[in-house]
Chain A
Amino acid sequence: MKSILKLVAAMAMATVLQALPTHAQDKPKEIKIGISTFLSGPASVFGVPAKAAAEMMAEDLNKKGGIGGVPVSLHFMDEGAGGEALVSNYRRLVQDEKVDVTFASISSGSCLQLAPLAEDLKMMNFMWDCGAASILEAKKYRYNFRSQANATPEMLAVLVYLLKTKPDFNTIAVVNQDYAWGRESWEIFLTALKQMKPDVKVVAELFPKFGAPDYSTEVSRLLALRPDVIFTTSWGGDLDTFVRQSNQRGLLRQSTFVLAIGETSLQRLGNELPDGLIVGARGDHWFLHPELKNDPAFKAFNEAFRTRTGSWPIYPVYHMQQAFSALQGSYDKAIKTNGGKWPNREQVIDAAAGLEFKGWGRPVTMRPEDNQGLEAQLVGVTKTDPAYGFKVLDNMMIFDPKPITTPPGIKSIDWLKTLGPDFIKMSVPTFKHGG
């Protein structure tokens, strides 16, 4: 009888153990992070500072004991190597190096390639910088998250800023790089513009080759056309060249310039820029963020980055920081949910959906419906401050993310077509530089 009771008890115990939703995982020796960033090519102006930021953050995190007591290690992939090489490298990192999570990528093209692969490999992936809205609108992913906004709120914030601050314009021209970002960002901007100010006439749509060394002809044409507003989402050397050539020939003073992601160029362009250009930051990213500028931790981070690289942080640096925060937040939440025990990967994924985390800006939420990050947007105008050798931002508006982000379940362009002129009446706080 006793032996039968023992057998029943053992069977019951085994059944209970099997019925438990998860087993406690052994704490790993490290959390391996695979990071896709541009280390070569023109986009390395974003990728290299982001890599420096990642190294800085990993060092800092490990000094504090890592995530849940586990140190992190970084494994970089060069997006500049191109599509097939990137995919091979990604597979190698996941299958051979056994990374635990990936941050991929800067380019929307890279994200479009790697997101389905991450899903197939059941690899937790934070799309940490790519902007194409369509990636998470076309398909519901479980393993892919975006730890920042996408092009739709980024362009909408800039447009609303323009319409709120300089509403009396009749003509507009665009000069964007001829690739997916340049085309898609203009489509978003123009679709919304037509809804909010239908009488505006587009006088020129110029899409010079990506990496074009010379914009002289475009500048001549714009000088002749005299559009009220010139919009560009160009970046890096392309934007620098276009803006400098425009400045040398008086175009910056003839038209209102909207540099939708110009924050990254301000330090390089120095005081060549006039005051009053509208500048976006792909998020509420600014090293003099009006709500954080007196935060000692924020100031210390910015100073440390400047000491390390010689420049103040730009938005890819802050986006990288958000990916780290999202990862740490996901693990912390999963550990807590798991009763303090180390979680398995699926538990971390569950924790990431709907997670709110704090970067160097307002809190970001990765909404659970489509894993899209809801990130505030900061837009301002250039202003001279003798304390800096370059233009800073003034009259900054910080947009709450929800009203300007496409609701889940609808495509951005379809949603933008439902907006109207009243959209710009939203209340947005304005901050003065140094105020």
Chain B
Amino acid sequence: MDSTIAVLAVLDGLSYAALVFLVSVGLSLIFGVLRIVNVAHGSLYAYGAYAAATLSLMVAPISPWLTFPALLIASVVVGVVIGGLMERFLLRPVYGREDVLQLLITFAVFMIMDNLQRLIWGVQPIFAAEPLRLLPNISVLGVTYTSYQVLLLPLLAAITLVALRYFLRHTLSGAVILAVTEDREAATAIGIDARKVFLVTFMIGASLAALGGALASPTTSLVPGMGTDMIVLSFAVAATAGLGQIEGAAVTALMIGLARAFAIYIQPEFEVLVPYLIMVIVLLVRPLGLFGVSHVRKI
């Protein structure tokens, strides 16, 4: 293979993997702690994107650089408000009941949010590319890239991974979450408020989905149905990694990103198939996913 193609494919793959990781890690986190497969995760991604674009368009006339904090603020607001309301009023009443109820509820939320999205933002594609334009382009082997996509996004994904690991492994709050994940009853017995842990975890997971959408918003057009595609891909990543596996989500996102990029360069017909092909192969060999292990801690 041409070394130029290899370099370009790696850069493209890294950029794509960064976004996929940011969205799928929230799904994995929520499943790891709450044991919920959140079908509305894609909607949180879409709302994060729309909210970020809306806020960016509002602050850009003041200073274009304000669009960067706008991305972060929008994702936190979406994650905390929508995620918080979902967990408190829709999911909490059904903890401990049949799993199918949680699936149905999150699916219903997904449908409602999809319709609300059209009511709020309409059906015409929206975009707010200011953050992308502010950062310079770079040239690699004669091919122009935006530094937002090939530098900033992978950097933010890496920071998120490290921060999440640090939070869970080296902080008291993280230890509390791990304790509840390990054994909810025992954790409650020693005075940990498991309900609060669930709420906070769900809000973090939802914020990560929204962050993925917010960071994607400068690069893409926001359209009805954008959350649907992302939820399918996120499930593929989470299932391949092993549900609840955060580091696994990073590795899988990287695998999928790189494989997809190489497919486009070498055999474009396989582009759409690649993530699911990887998932099928991995699950055939390791039914619990690449990093999934039964009966041990899930995050």
Task: Report A-chain residues with C-beta under 8 Å of the C-beta of B261.
Answer: 217
Asked if B149 and A216 sit within 8 Å, CB to CB, the answer is yes
| Distance, CA A213 to CA B149, complexed state (A) | 13
* B61 → chain A closest CB, angstroms: 15
B196 at the interface (CB under 8 A from A): no
A214 neighbours in B (Cβ, 8 Å): 16, 19, 216, 219-220
Q: Are B137 and A42 within 8 A (Cβ)? A: no
CB distance from B6 to the nearest CB of A (A): 12
CA distance A207 to B141 in the complex (A): 25
Pick the interface stretch among A240-248, A286-294, A351-359.
Answer: A240-248
Interface string of B192-204 (1 = CB under 8 A from A): 0000000000000
CB contact under 8 A between A224 and B271, given known A217-B16, A268-B124: no
- A117 near B: Cβ within 8 Å? no
CB pair A45 B123 closer than 8 Å: yes
Which 7 pairs between the two chains have the least Cβ-Cβ distance? Answer: A237-B223, A237-B221, A217-B12, A44-B123, A237-B125, A240-B221, A213-B220
**Assembly CA distance A205 to B8 (angstroms):** 18
**Is A221 an interface residue when CB atoms closer than 8 A count as contact?**
yes
Which of B80-88, B96-104, B262-270 lies at the interface? B262-270
> In the complex the two chains form, what is the Cα distance from A81 to B4 in whole Å?
44
**What would 27 A/B residue contacts be, using CB atoms closer than 8 Å?**
A40-B118, A45-B125, A45-B223, A206-B268, A207-B268, A207-B269, A209-B272, A211-B228, A214-B16, A214-B19, A216-B15, A216-B16, A216-B219, A217-B9, A217-B261, A217-B265, A220-B8, A220-B143, A224-B5, A237-B223, A238-B221, A241-B127, A241-B220, A248-B146, A249-B146, A250-B137, A268-B124
Q: Shortest beta-carbon distance, A204 to chain B, in Å?
A: 7
Q: Are B149 and A178 in contact (CB under 8 A)?
A: no
Interface centre among A205, A220, A236, A311 (most CB of B within 10 A): A220
Q: Contact check: which of B144, B229, B260 meets A217 at CB < 8 Å?
A: B260
**Which residues of the other chain, B, contact A221 by a CB distance below 8 angstroms?**
8, 264-265
Q: With CB as the reference atom, state the residue of chain A lying closest to B2.
A: A224
CB of B264 within 8 A of CB of A206, answer yes
In the bound assembly, the distance between CA atoms of A44 and B5 in angstroms comes to 37
Residue B174 at the chain A interface, CB threshold 8 Å: no
Query: Is A350 part of the contact surface with B, judged by Cβ < 8 Å?
Result: no
Q: Tell yes or no: A112 within 8 A of B by CB.
A: no
Which of B142, B143, B226, B265 is A213 in contact with, Cβ under 8 Å? B226
Judged by a CB distance under 8 angstroms, whether B230 is at the interface is: yes
The total of Cβ contacts below 8 Å across the A-B interface reads 118
Question: CB-CB < 8 A to B225: which residues of A?
Answer: 40-42, 211
Name which residue of chain B comes closest to A208, CB basis.
Answer: B271
CB neighbours (8 Å) of A212 from chain B are: 229
**Binary contact track A180-222/B, C-beta < 8 Å → 1, others 0:** 0000000000000000000000001111110111101110110
A224 touches B19 (CB 8 A): no
Q: Provide the A27-59 mask, 1 if CB < 8 A to any CB of B, else 0.
A: 000000000000011101101100000000000
Chain A residues with CB under 8 A of B114: 40
Chain B positions 119-135 with a Cβ under 8 Å from a chain A Cβ: 122-125, 127, 129, 132-133
Q: How large is the interface on B (under 10, 10 to 19, 20 to 34, 35 or more residues)?
A: 35 or more
A223 at the interface (CB under 8 A from B): yes
Determine the chain B residues whose CB is within 8 A of the CB of A208 once the complex forms: 271-272
Chain B residues, CB < 8 A from A218: 264
Quick check: A213 and B230 within 8 Å, CB to CB?
yes
Interface size class of A (residues with CB under 8 A): 35 or more
Given contacts A44-B118, A241-B125, 19 further A-B contacts (CB under 8 A): A40-B114, A41-B225, A42-B225, A45-B123, A47-B123, A209-B272, A211-B223, A211-B225, A212-B229, A213-B226, A217-B9, A217-B264, A220-B145, A223-B142, A237-B222, A241-B219, A244-B221, A249-B144, A249-B146
Once the chains bind, are B272 and A205 in contact (CB under 8 Å)?
A: no
B9 & A223 in contact (Cβ 8 Å cutoff):
no
Interfacial chain A residues near B216, Cβ < 8 Å: 213-214
Identify which of A236, A245, A248 gathers the most chain B CB atoms within 10 Å of its CB: A248
A interface, over-half SS: helix
CB-CB under 8 A from B124, the residues of chain A are 45, 268, 311
List A contacts of B133 (CB < 8 A): 248
Query: Closest CB-CB distance, A206 to chain B, in whole Å?
Result: 5
Contacts of B223 in A (CB 8 A): 42, 45, 211, 236-237
Which residues of chain A from 304 to 348 have any CB-CB distance to chain B below 8 Å in the complex? 311
CB distance from B110 to the nearest CB of A (A): 13
Task: Provide the bound-state CA to CA distance between A223 and B132, in Å.
Answer: 19
- Please tell me if the beta carbons of B145 and A249 are within 8 angstroms of each other in the complex: yes
Neighbour of B144 across the interface among A204, A206, A250, CB < 8 A? A250
The answer to whether B12 and A211 touch across the interface, beta carbons within 8 angstroms, is no
The residue in B13, B118, B230 that gathers the most chain A C-beta atoms within 10 A of its C-beta is: B118
In the complex, whether B64 has a CB less than 8 A from a CB of chain A is no
Determine the chain B residues whose CB is within 8 A of the CB of A47 once the complex forms: 123
- Is the CB of B287 closer than 8 A to any CB of chain A? no
Shortest beta-carbon distance, B190 to chain A, in Å?
45
Given contacts A206-B264, A224-B5, A236-B223, are A248 and B118 in contact (CB under 8 A)? no
B260 cross-chain contacts in A, Cβ below 8 A: 217
Residues of B within 8 A of A223 (CB): 142-144
**How far is the CB of A320 from the nearest CB of chain B, in Å?**
16
Interface-centre pick from B216, B260, B271 (highest chain A CB count, 10 A): B271
Determine how close the nearest CB of chain B comes to the CB of A284; give it in whole angstroms: 23
- CB neighbours (8 Å) of A241 from chain B are 125, 127, 219-221
